Amino acid sequence: MVKALLFISFLLTSITFQAQNSDRIVGTYRVIGDKSKEVSNVKITNQGGIYQAQIVWLEHPTDAKGQLKTDTKNPDASLRTRPLTDVVVIKGIKYDSKNNQWTGGTIYDPASGKTYDVLVEFQDDTNLKVRGYKGTPAFGKTMIWKKID
């Protein structure tokens, strides 16, 4: 009986730790565009164990004409007029406790209109490595997102 209670206690502690570790990714990150050097904030949220990231702030939200920047390169023409601050850039990632990574989703690059597979993991306590790739992570590109809250 004592062994059973100890096992249940251990199991509950493990599940709680895993949930806390998986939600470690939740928060707002400062992102610097690879080519444009545009500074933005991206917020990662947990949607029932599936994580997504949305642009929530742009350093320069308007174009040269004073108009809000929109998702002009989106392959879906019906989405090209939406403001960039409405764009979800990472969709569908789930926590992989074995490898301490978030995988299985995609990352969308509004600058090119292209979508890639994505692998996300912490480099340290505040820096998130976000790797977009096609096929295998070995052939991709990594960006560092800095957690700001």
- Give the tens place of pLDDT for each residue, 27-86: 999 999 888 889 999 999 999 999 999 999 999 999 999 999 999 999 999 999 999 999
pLDDT band at 1 (very low <50, low <70, confident <90, very high): low
pTM of the model: 0.85
- Structurally, the chain folds into a number of domains equal to 1
32 and 146 Cβ atoms separated by less than 8 Å: no
Q: What is the SS3 assignment for the chain? A: CHHHHHHHHHHHHHHHHHHHHHHHHCEEEEEECCCCCCEEEEEEEEECCEEEEEEEEECCCECCCCCECECCCCCCHHHCCCEHHHCEEEEEEEEECCCCEEEEEEEEECCCCEEEEEEEEECCCCEEEEEEECCCHHHEEEEEEEECC
- Give the tens place of pLDDT for each residue, 85-137: 999 999 999 999 999 999 999 999 999 999 999 999 999 999 999 999 999 99
How is residue 17 written in tokens?
């730790």
Note down the domain range covering 137.
Answer: 2-147
What pLDDT was estimated at residue 15? Answer: 40
20 and 56 Cβ atoms separated by less than 8 Å: no
Q: The domain that contains 103 carries what CATH number?
A: 2.40.128.520
Q: Which residues contact 102 (CB under 8 A, 6 or more apart)?
A: 22, 25, 51, 93, 94, 95, 96, 119, 120, 121
